[in-house]
Each structure stands twice: as structure tokens, then as C-alpha cells.
Amino acid sequence: MSSIRWARDGDHLVKLVETDVQTAEVRGTNPARVLRVSTAGDGQLVNDGSATETLRVEVVDGLRVARGTDPADADVLDVDDDATLVVDGSEQTLTLMEGSGTLDVSTTAAAGSTIDVVARELASHPAESDRTQIDVVRTQ
């Protein structure tokens, strides 16, 4: 009979595998911070160049995620840091205050294409990346 628990160890998580006899620790793989990138709207963007979709990037608690909470429901951590965001292949730096930051996206790209967005890393701490897509639709 064994059980698994997760604990924080600095910037990473420790996996504790407990049996009746001993406890084993698996260290240094999962970051304690998880990036979450989401769109404020429906994830679609009209290609008239003036409509905007707001991207929200947040740092959430990796410990809660490891324990089974969906990243979408995990608590936002109160941290200030710079996140590297890759928008359609182009690196952008986004300053996060109290664990969160936003970036407005507009486009004149062809309808039917997609804009890939990857929240890749934090400047000061290891973090799990996240990605989303914006669908480009034709001007009404």
C-alpha cells in the first residue's frame, strides 16, 4: 500500500511516495509555477486590423495543479515577473504584476489561419509553459 503526496521545494515540487516501510522523494522535475494563457473573448479575431482579442497570462500554483486541480481553476500566485510570450513565432516580453498581465492582439492575417500563442517561461523562476490559439475570421 502506497500513497503519493506533493510538496514544494523552492522553485520545484517534490513527489513523495509513501509506503508502510519508507518514504521516497522524487525531486526537481515539476516547476512550482505554472503559466496559464487564455483569451478574454471567444478566441476568434476579425482580420480588419482594429478588432482586438485580449490575451491574459497568469502564474498559477503548480502545487495545486500537481495535486489534481485543473490549471484553469488553480490559484493565481502573487508574484511580479517578466514572462516570455511567443506570438506567431515572435518573442514578446510581458510584465506580470501580482501574477498576471495582458496583451491585446489585432490582425490583418488571412481568414482561416490561426495565431499561435505560447507563454514560454518566466525570467526569474522555472515555470511550466502553456499555449493557446486565436482563430482569424473574415471581416463581417
Residues near another protein, by CB under 8 A: 47, 49, 52, 87-90, 92, 102-109, 113, 115
Compute the least distance from the CB of residue 17 to another protein, in Å. 43
Q: Which is nearer to another protein, 16 or 87 (CB)?
A: 87
Compute the least distance from the CB of residue 103 to another protein, in Å. 6
Q: Which is nearer to another protein, 32 or 115 (CB)?
A: 115
Compute the least distance from the CB of residue 57 to another protein, in Å. 12
Cβ(39)–Cβ(54) below 8 Å? yes
Compute the least distance from the CB of residue 48 to another protein, in Å. 10
Sequential DSSP letters for 27-92: -SSSBSEEEEEEESSSSEEETTSS--EEEEEEEEEHHHHHTT--TTTSPBP---EEEEEEETTEEE
Q: Which is nearer to another protein, 26 or 97 (CB)?
A: 97
For CA atoms 12, 29, 71, 98, give the dihedral sign: positive
DSSP-assigned letter for residue 140: -
Q: Which is nearer to another protein, 52 or 129 (CB)?
A: 52
